[in-house]
A = this chain, B = another copy of it.
Amino acid sequence: MSLVADAETPTLELRTAAYAVPVFTPRADAPVPVQRGSFPLRVNLRHGGSVDVVLRWQILGVQEAPLLIVLGGISAHRQLAANALDASEGWWPQQVRRGGALDPFTFRLLSIDWIGADGAVDTAIDPDDQAQALATLLEHLQITHVAACIGASYGAMVGQHLAKRLGARLGHLVVLNAAHRPHPFASAWRAIQRRIVRLGAEHEAAHEAVALARQLAVLSYRTPNEFAARFTDKVALDGGVARCAAEPYLDAQGERFANRFAGTAFLRLSESIDLHDIDPADVPVPVTVFAARSDQIVPVEDVRAFAVAVPLLHRYHEIDSVFGHDSFLKEDAQVQAVLIDALAGCGGAA
């Protein structure tokens, strides 16, 4: 059977990845195996009702290796890195690469498109709903053990709920730039983003509003120090209107996002962050935690509170970074070290 499967075949027969399998030695010149599927399922939503969704998944990596689940922020998706089915760069090529911490010749990397990311669900989506969908997908794929779940930002919230659901079937949880609750200030920041989108939707300006909300989100993901170092030009008048140095960057970020994200998708996934609520005591697996002291929307105090309250803390890492919440995407060497340490016991190839 070819490991490069039909992109839309939901019923692939996959062998179960055993935990702590013998070290697998890949051929040095092999292409990265990749599988994709679209799995229709019904999710019983935590906040009422059920929805029929199609969960789009991808598995990148060699079949014999331990399985990792890799989850990013609300704008992330199943495309972790370029592969034979999709040449686009993906959202985490720094880590997901040959020789990287998430080497697809060492691990099998399962990723998904978030429920709601296609704009098809217009009801409240709890992070635990994503975890429920993931757990159902694992059953469908006959995966009985997950060596580790690596979650960043929203993905780390979903990972917490997944750990609660999987229990001993999950070997390790890595929480990057997330805590057990949304911070009230960050919630307010996101609430304003959602209001922008709703205002736009009500006044036939949905695209511009989503772009603007994304600009505001980007601001919250970075830090004043990064902007100070990066946008050094003075504010200038352009056609009689002040234009500050960061605006072209924010414009590009907003436009790129609005071109692929519908207003409903943004509203429901942003909201989902704010619905996150879990008792760290209910996360019953070894946990590695990574935080940046400059994170504006996940204050380090909240991450510390999470780390000290989980029953099985493996390691807590806290760094200075000019990149704030985006440090998981930007501090590549430090994140790699965190991941390598966390995955050391997960049975991948050396």
Q: A residues bordering B, Cβ < 8 Å?
A: 47, 123-124, 181-192, 195-196, 199-200, 202-205, 208-209, 212, 215-216, 219, 222-224, 227-228, 230-232, 234-235, 237, 240-247, 250, 271, 274-275, 277, 296, 299
B47 lies within 8 A of A227 (CB):
no
A242 lies within 8 A of B183 (CB):
no
B195 lies within 8 A of A199 (CB):
no
- Quick one: which of A205, A224, A275 has the most chain B CB within 10 A? A224
Nearest-Cβ distance from residue A214 to partner chain B, whole angstroms: 10
A240 lies within 8 A of B124 (CB):
yes
Nearest-Cβ distance from residue A238 to partner chain B, whole angstroms: 10
A205 lies within 8 A of B208 (CB):
no
Contacts of A189 in B (CB 8 A): 219
B205 lies within 8 A of A124 (CB):
no
Q: Given A188-B227, A235-B275, A246-B188, A208–B199 Cβ distance below 8 Å?
A: yes
Contacts of A250 in B (CB 8 A): 188, 191-192
Contacts of A205 in B (CB 8 A): 199, 202-203
How many angstroms between the C-alpha atoms of A215 and B271 in the bound complex?
Answer: 18
How many angstroms between the C-alpha atoms of A11 and B248 in the bound complex?
Answer: 48
How many angstroms between the C-alpha atoms of A231 and B182 in the bound complex?
Answer: 12
How many angstroms between the C-alpha atoms of A235 and B247 in the bound complex?
Answer: 32
Which among B187, B204, B247 is the interface contact of A244 at CB below 8 angstroms? Answer: B187
How many angstroms between the C-alpha atoms of A241 and B184 in the bound complex?
Answer: 16
How many angstroms between the C-alpha atoms of A319 and B303 in the bound complex?
Answer: 26
Contacts of A123 in B (CB 8 A): 240
B247 lies within 8 A of A191 (CB):
yes
Nearest-Cβ distance from residue A56 to partner chain B, whole angstroms: 25
Nearest-Cβ distance from residue A215 to partner chain B, whole angstroms: 5
Q: Which residue of B lies closest to A195 (CB)?
A: B212
Contacts of A228 in B (CB 8 A): 183-185, 299
- Cross-chain pairs A/B with CB under 8 angstroms, 13 sampled: A47-B237, A47-B240, A183-B224, A184-B228, A185-B223, A185-B227, A187-B231, A187-B244, A187-B246, A188-B231, A188-B246, A200-B203, A216-B216
Which among B188, B224, B271 is the interface contact of A186 at CB below 8 angstroms? Answer: B224
Contacts of A242 in B (CB 8 A): 124, 191, 271, 274-275
Q: Which residue of B lies closest to A212 (CB)?
A: B195
